[in-house]
Amino acid sequence: MTLWKCSEHFVRKSEENRMKKKNKIQPAMAFSFNSKTEHVFFFKKKGGTMHFDLDLYKPTELEKRISYIYRENGILSPSHMDLDKIAFIYDCHVIYSEKPTMVLYDDAYGGLIFLNAYVTKEQQREDFFHEISHPALHVGCQNTLPELFVDLQESQAASFQLYSAMPYFMLAAIEPSGYENEYISQLSDIFQLSFDFVNRRIEQVQRRIVQGYHDRNTQFRFNNTNPQDHERQLSIARAIVL
């Protein structure tokens, strides 16, 4: 894992020296991004504790939609994420059986999500959040769709799975208990998901924070340059397009 990297706060040299003297590093220091002369964090201190800093995070429209639905239905923390309750929101029912994991749904009558009863609880939850995406996002039967459409739906399902299994708004409320691996393990226990799954989601969040950081700095530089420079840049851009 190489992207334990970013947030918007610069590390002051005096603060670094003070921490070194104490021989104590706050958890956020383990999740910092160093881009030559810039140091930024994924975490910030709030109310005396460390929390995931999502100020620069830009959720997708799908994430916003999922988060809105969760909040409207009282799903505000990982402890509220009962599979039967979430299935009910999307007009589905969960059935544990010996059958392979799958979903059957009808636009008029709702859906049935079959989860394999013999896999781990973590795997069941990950499978659930993938399968629930189809009645939540799609209509029709994949068996009648062209392969490219099926691939598109599966790509959308993969995104929905990450967003719905670990909603971004819940991450900011969880105080990290340690460094990189410890934090991932902590989230794995809290959300009842595998270590690898949690790591994928956190790396996705981090990439978006890094992008938000660079977007903000680019916008800042653009807003603070001479208007003539703006016009020159636009002229160059037009020339390239033409």
Residue ranges matching CATH 1.10.10 in the chain: 61-169
Residue 90: predicted pLDDT: 92
Residue 82: predicted pLDDT: 97
Residue 47: predicted pLDDT: 58
Residue 239: predicted pLDDT: 56
pLDDT (tens place) for every residue of the chain, 242 residues total: 333 433 333 333 444 444 444 443 334 334 444 444 344 456 666 655 556 677 888 899 999 999 999 999 999 999 999 999 999 999 999 999 998 898 887 777 788 999 999 999 999 999 999 999 988 886 555 556 566 766 777 788 899 999 999 999 998 888 877 677 888 999 999 999 999 999 999 999 988 888 887 877 777 777 776 666 656 655 655 555 44
Which DSSP string corresponds to 147-193?
Answer: HHHHHHHHHHHHHHHHHHHS-HHHHTTPPP-SSHHHHHHHHHHHHT-
Residues recorded for the chain: 242
- Residue range 61-169 in CATH 1.10.10: yes
In angstroms, rounded to a whole number, what is the distance separating the alpha carbons of residues 186 and 181?
8
- Cα within 13 Å of Cα(227), Cβ side: 0
In angstroms, rounded to a whole number, what is the distance separating the alpha carbons of residues 84 and 95?
10
In angstroms, rounded to a whole number, what is the distance separating the alpha carbons of residues 13 and 18?
9
Q: Is the C-alpha dihedral spanning 170, 45, 56, 2 positive or negative?
A: negative
Q: What is the DSSP letter of 142?
A: G
Residue 131: predicted pLDDT: 92
In angstroms, rounded to a whole number, what is the distance separating the alpha carbons of residues 207 and 6?
9
Determine how β-strand 43-46 pairs with β-strand 49-52. Answer: antiparallel
In angstroms, rounded to a whole number, what is the distance separating the alpha carbons of residues 40 and 54?
13
